[in-house]
Amino acid sequence: MRNTVGDNVRLTLFGESHNEIIGAVLDGMCPGIKVDEEFIKLQLKKRRPMNGETPRIEIDDFKIVSGVFNGYTTGESICLLIENHNTRSQDYEEIKSIARPSHADYVAHVKYHGFNDYRGGGHFSGRITAPIVAVGSIVLKALEKKNIYIGTHIKKCGNVVDQDFLEVEKEVKELSGKIIPVISNIEEDIQNEILKAKKEKDSIGGILQTAIIGLPVGLGQPWFSSVEGKIANAVFSIGGVKGIEFGAGFNFANLKGSSCNDQFEIVNEKVTTKTNNNGGINGGITNGMPIVFNTAIKPTPSIGLSQDTIDFVKGENVETKVTGRHDPAIVRRIAVVIDSIVALVVADLLSMRYGEDFLEYEE
């Protein structure tokens, strides 16, 4: 199985939801990057459940066992470990051969011939995103040195809607301190929407909008390493992600060239475009405008309402209600996961263009 993403800057993930340890290995990171453990903790906190979401709250104490010396990256493999503590595997014993609708239980059973660790969703669990956030935080901080910032806000959660990015540079920077990442004042509405779904024993989905600012022109390659392709490949690995669109995305179908072409202009000796319907990418290559993309997150599969499914060991149709601890919405928690995994993609793209000391490039 391939658990690695990236060409030059590579992330490898390991672990299962209810096993002793989960973790990540990050290869190809430049030497001399300061590792800010407080920032890593803050980022992990954003991914943890808040009031109304799943009661499985992990403390996410992490340990970096290689690749960091005296507080700086050495340039060798960074191995980061996080222990699992708050597990209740008995929740899964009775339902181990019941396929939760929309979850990966059935496909995992077939693919791994029944040898997969099914407890808590095993390797398919959202828990595996914790190490992505931890190592991604190191990369996010490193990118800030080059004035590259990444931010994701909740554009939609259930029926609650946020505005799109308008003053993108300012808004992206403001998002970095927020536990509920939104631009408008809708934190309470989102919390209420999640609580409502929980009360109904149901779940809701949403849309996350991400922007990357400060990228140089020329990252990415036209064939098979397009910026869209590399971002989509990484983001689609996050459980629950079902759609992605760059810039105007599917709305291009409703527009005409005359209204949606991003017309060029030179402002203060810098090439820009008057609009950014292409989301900062032409021909698979960054054009210097912010990269903007939307990610669709489906409602959490595990719900407390009765649904039809199968017992894949007995070969019978059954009904199921999920009684374990689950999130009525995973939209908010995935925002920081996207920032983190996209930071790795950006580092990889920079490294493909500028080589192993990719943070030393001059514009």
Ligand X SMILES: Cc1cc2nc3c(=O)[nH]c(=O)nc-3n(C[C@H](O)[C@H](O)[C@H](O)COP(=O)(O)O)c2cc1C
Residues that bind ligand X (CB under 6 A): 54, 103-104, 121, 124-126, 129, 238-241, 298, 300-302, 326-327, 330, 333-334, 337
DSSP string, 119-172: GGGGGGSGGGHHHHHHHHHHHHHHHHTTT-EEEEEEEEETTEEPPPPSSHHHHH
Task: Spell 25-49 as b/e; 16+ CB within 10 A means b.
Answer: bbbbbbeebebbeebbeebbebbbb
Question: Which residue of this chain has its Cβ atom nearest to ligand X in the complex?
Answer: 126
Helix, strand and coil percent figures for the chain, each rounded to 5: 30, 25, 45
- Closest distance to ligand X from the beta carbon of 213 (Å): 25
- Closest distance to ligand X from the beta carbon of 284 (Å): 25
d(CA 7, CA 347): 10
Looking at beta carbons only, is 148 or 198 nearer to ligand X?
A: 198
Looking at beta carbons only, is 163 or 323 nearer to ligand X?
A: 323
- Closest distance to ligand X from the beta carbon of 351 (Å): 26
d(CA 334, CA 299): 12
Looking at beta carbons only, is 104 or 345 nearer to ligand X?
A: 104
Looking at beta carbons only, is 213 or 342 nearer to ligand X?
A: 342
Q: Do residues 83 and 130 lie in contact, with contact meaning Cβ atoms separated by under 8 Å?
A: no
Looking at beta carbons only, is 239 or 280 nearer to ligand X?
A: 239
- Closest distance to ligand X from the beta carbon of 140 (Å): 18
| H helix intervals, the chain | 37-47, 90-93, 105-111, 129-144, 168-175, 187-199, 227-235, 257-260, 331-354
d(CA 285, CA 221): 6
- Closest distance to ligand X from the beta carbon of 110 (Å): 14
Q: Do residues 87 and 17 lie in contact, with contact meaning Cβ atoms separated by under 8 Å?
A: yes
- Closest distance to ligand X from the beta carbon of 124 (Å): 4
d(CA 139, CA 34): 10
- Closest distance to ligand X from the beta carbon of 215 (Å): 25
Looking at beta carbons only, is 99 or 330 nearer to ligand X?
A: 330
Closest CA to 327 of 353, 299, 355: 299
Looking at beta carbons only, is 54 or 87 nearer to ligand X?
A: 54
Phi and psi torsions of 341, nearest 5°: -70, -30
d(CA 288, CA 282): 10
Looking at beta carbons only, is 337 or 347 nearer to ligand X?
A: 337
- Closest distance to ligand X from the beta carbon of 352 (Å): 27
